[in-house]
Amino acid sequence: MSSVIDLLKSHRSIRKFSDQAIEPELLEELFAAGQAAATSSFLQGTTIIRVTNPEKREKIAELAGNQPYVAKAAEFMIFCADLKRAGNYCEAYEMPFEGDFTEHFIIATVDVALMAQSLVTAAESVGLGICYIGGIRNNPGPVSDLLELPRGVYPVFGLCLGYPDQDPEIKPRLPMSVIVKKEVYNEEGDQETIEQYDERIRDYYRTRTGGGHGISWTEQVATLLSEKSRPHMKGFLEEKGFKFK
């Protein structure tokens, strides 16, 4: 089996990091690895803001839901979807800027995810640990103000990066038969398979380091989708120029 495949299958989120710094040369290589990811229409619609100021880190940790590893990881960066950089050149070529179409938003957001995941894979291949921070979207306005993000740029997620100071278990994913379908979407056999998976997840949460709540996957996602989820994002994105035409 390929060592890359084994690496990808062993991913865990790390929330405790050692004090060891990441060498500047290595960090540069990780950025280069991330930048080599696919980019739709060659937009290259990602901007990374590396946050090193301790006070700013503490503030972002608070805004992201009081997640202390944001402040303590060796590196913390915020991945932004960026239509401004490319949009700057519409005027130069006497073309109208139509970057507020939904498709443009999707292109830039997907670019961010692809670049981040390539960087993450490179980081994990050299022994680093990561944790994505979607919590920055709890308060995207204040986060944007701290980073001085202009119109046409929005923060998609943060990323903690550093040398792990913990060895958590791998969280079991859904069985392959549930997520990989042939020819058409169908749910044949899924219910029974997911019921068995629920028991694995309950056991994972009960037995992982520090104990857990023992909730099932179906309970967790049903709760997620039955509650309002960051309803402020629509208005925030519109203010940033993403009108979804």
Cα–Cα separations (whole angstroms), residue 141 to 5, 98, 196, 227, 244: 38, 23, 41, 22, 19
Full-model pTM: 0.94
3-state secondary structure 40-71: HHHCCCEEEEEECCHHHHHHHHHHCCCCCHHH
Residue 244 domain-assigned (yes or no): no
| Number of domains into which the chain is organized | 2
195 domain-assigned: yes
- Does one domain contain both 185 and 88? no
Handedness of CA 142, 84, 236, 73 (dihedral sign): negative
Residue 240 domain-assigned (yes or no): no
Q: Are residues 201 and 145 in the same domain?
A: no
Q: Are residues 69 and 156 in the same domain?
A: yes
The tens place of each residue's pLDDT in the chain, 245 residues long, gives 579 999 999 999 999 999 999 999 999 999 999 999 999 999 999 999 999 999 999 999 999 999 999 999 999 999 999 999 999 999 889 899 887 899 999 999 999 999 999 999 999 999 999 999 999 999 999 999 999 999 999 999 999 999 999 999 999 999 999 999 999 999 999 999 999 999 999 999 888 756 667 899 999 999 999 999 999 999 999 999 998 88
Tell me, yes or no, whether 233 lies in a domain. Answer: no
Give pLDDT tens digits for 176-233: 999 999 999 999 999 999 999 999 999 998 887 566 678 999 999 999 999 999 999 9
Say yes or no: 28 and 123 in one domain.
Answer: yes
For CA atoms 156, 162, 166, 167, the dihedral sign is positive
- Is residue 71 located within the same domain as residue 151? yes
C-alpha span between 155 and 190 (Å, rounded): 35
How far is it, in rounded angstroms, from Cα 140 to Cα 179?
31
* 180 and 142 housed in the same domain: no
Q: What is the CATH number of the domain that holds 155?
A: 3.40.109.10
Residues 74 and 185 in one domain: no
End-to-end CA distance of the chain: 46
Residue 225: Cβ within 10 Å count: 7
**Which residues form the domain of 193?**
171-227
Same domain, 161 and 217: no
Report the C-alpha dihedral over residues 240, 81, 134, 66, rounded to 10 degrees. -60
Judgement on whether residues 61 and 152 belong to the same structural domain of the protein: yes
Does 209 fall in a domain?
Answer: yes
Residues 204 and 163 in one domain: no
- Determine, yes or no, domain membership for 159: yes
| 221 shares its domain with 151 | no
With 0-12 / 13-18 / 19 or more C-beta atoms within 10 angstroms meaning exposed / middle / buried, residue 110 is middle
Q: Could you tell me if residue 237 is inside a domain?
A: no
